[in-house]
Structure 1
């Protein structure tokens, strides 16, 4: 496309530099018309000075009739963009949680906290069974979702299952696998 445009502009410049009569038979009519046109169009701008308060009122009136930008509340919720947002959120939760726990583990001897494995296991064992189940499910849910959705993205990176129907279906499979595997991890070892 760029090379065609470059060729057209170059040809117009060559024809414009030569004096071509309109009665010449060497060129067809479009070439003659092109050769006789000026290279650039110019349009004189009609401007006027407007006082600042009047300019602001014109701008305010224009803003009143501008369309409002689309936002999430006008769209119907769909699986692909919901799961995409959840993938980012779970990634932030997991990485943020690891960084916070790692930093707390490093400074715990200085602050007198007991974050060694035996102390954490003993405090966790004292919790009621329902609380243990909820805590384990809450920790397993973002981890399993992010893992299953990561595998889904790896399949997409290979160029497979990227049609609209398969994206929705694989999203439903990821949700199901996430709930089942999170529940299994939460129940395991109780």
Structure 2
């Protein structure tokens, strides 16, 4: 036929396999495997930025967390990650300072830490113990909840919400109990 161009791509993988439509590495390297579509043109010309702005108005907007109602499932998941980071970060910070204390002249042995803690007022002791106890109890109880899920129990929406609020309540109660202990 006069005026038509036929392009044949040699595909070494097209031997009756399911990869018949796969392009060869040579075709990919040369850019000859790119599908092209014809541009439909109109007689009236318009500003391309206006066309782009109109297309952007027609695109769907991706939802964000701000449009969702907070649920115990994702709040609990975020809280579990945060408490894990708080616990592990404070452990690493304390362990590093404990190991560096002889070089820096600090006294972080048990006797000096107990003496410093006993010198604090009662309200400071309770606040400090509660600050440490709540992340520990929440992360521990939520870990037990995850172990329960690993056995295959508690996957319905009602059970997940019920156990989520139960972990929050028990964590608060246990943290208060630990904070007010002598």
TM-score > 0.5 by shorter chain = yes
Query: Which of residues 83, 99, 106 in structure 1 aligns to 2:99?
Result: 106
Deviation at 1:46, TM superposition (A): 1.2
Following the alignment from structure 1 to structure 2, what is the Cα–Cα distance between the partners of residues 166 and 46? 55
In structure 2, stretches of 5+ residues that fail to align are 1-15, 18-34, 42-46
TM-score calculated relative to the size of structure 1 = 0.70
Structure 2 counterpart of 1:45: 37
**Structure 1 residue 130 corresponds to structure 2 residue 123:** yes
More helix by share: 1
Q: 1:77 aligns with which of 70, 73, 81?
A: 70
Structure ID, larger Rg? 1
**1:13-32 paired onto structure 2 within 5 Å:** none
1:53-72, aligned counterparts within 5 Å? 58-72=51-65
**Paired residue for 1:23?**
none
- Residue 156 (str. 1) matches residue 156 (str. 2): no
Deviation, structure 1 residue 91: 0.5
The correspondence for 1:120, drawn from 108, 113, 132, is 113
Q: 1:180 aligns with which of 162, 173, 178?
A: 173
Give me the TM-score of the superposition, normalised by structure 2.
Answer: 0.73
CA distance in 1 between partners of 2:179 and 2:63 (Å): 40
